[in-house]
Structure 1
């Protein structure tokens, strides 16, 4: 197994011990969403907080409107401030405590993508990349005088169809792949600052399905469902289904 394949299969790194005890609670449906975790935004935020060494959880069945009713007193919540027009999307990510007080807010992230899916992803990534309060681990510690119980739902795991579920894989944001057109029928997925594609996609009759090759060898399919791309392939006679985060596809 070559190094590139091993690196991609792991998709992530073992994060170090979180730098504070509070859990950052993320609603699975923000006000601008029509369905939970639309465009993978809630999951994207969780991955960013974990990248910055914070404990984070996407709260299943919790919307931005009722978020404060579901945050333990010593934890934080996430809200998104959105504005803009048909030419540009602008967002800010706000960290609030259980009373709704704003603890920290990101700089404004922007995107000029015309499609909402890519516009929101790019704008939120931009906002989180500039969020120095998180990067510098400068969120204040909350001092709770009492606590309240909340129902928790286990994080969804990667799927292994027909077998037991695969262990959850953590994905670092540095491993987003960028889609670039190679020919009329093929698209390359590139890592940052890499000149040759990690994967090559070949178009099919469906815009939500691509044939995948890796190192010029067939390597499964890429499917779009539930606002997320998934790379499916067989390894040791088992079907692996891996979330694949892609920019520009």
Structure 2
């Protein structure tokens, strides 16, 4: 039992560590003055609280309306843009923290922070603090060296991404650029994800579910139901996700056949169980 728990903890730790390493190359976080689910700027002090929590967990954060350092203004791609989204139900307030890069791509999505408080301010603030537990788990620490490597990628490497051929007019000598092959492991993971990139049907026993792609990963929706019952949240590994439902949390991945394999941590916290959603052919 201890062995299975350690394996699960190791997998989760690897996902969070990999994700943290990806975020360490970003120097700043910008928090908006108002979140979309609220009516007023900094309503319930939510935006100031988000900034405070980012700073508490090692980030250098600014409000969108604040004056900012010159290197942030000159290079908007060394900054992450924070957002908080709401998915509350009738009896529970649920919030998630998102981080986007300068291309508006989501690079981090927290698990849901939840609260059963009835007072709006208390509920929102408690849910936000709980969502930030997953930000804390990343163990963020700015690494200027990794940021420098990212900035110093040779221009020829950036321009030679496989894609449709285009006619390019050049003056002077044209240098031959050799592009190295894409590693087999990446090709393999990419092919697996391509199989599930659109709406696909899966079976777990007699239960049929759909996987709907979202900006943070996938939603799991039971057939003939409108509301999702679970989520797959992206991690730093291309083919590994954090699996989350109201009842369970775990680590998920797609195998070579496109089936969804989930390692679920049981309620006693000592063992894991495996659940497989088989891809409908």
Range of TM-score over shorter length: 0.3 to 0.5
Which structure has the bigger radius of gyration?
2
TM-score for the superposition, normalised by structure 2: 0.38
- With a CA cutoff of 8 Å and minimum separation of 6, indicate the structure with the bigger relative contact order: 2
TM-score for the superposition, normalised by structure 1: 0.42
Larger proportion of helix: 2
Larger proportion of strand: 1
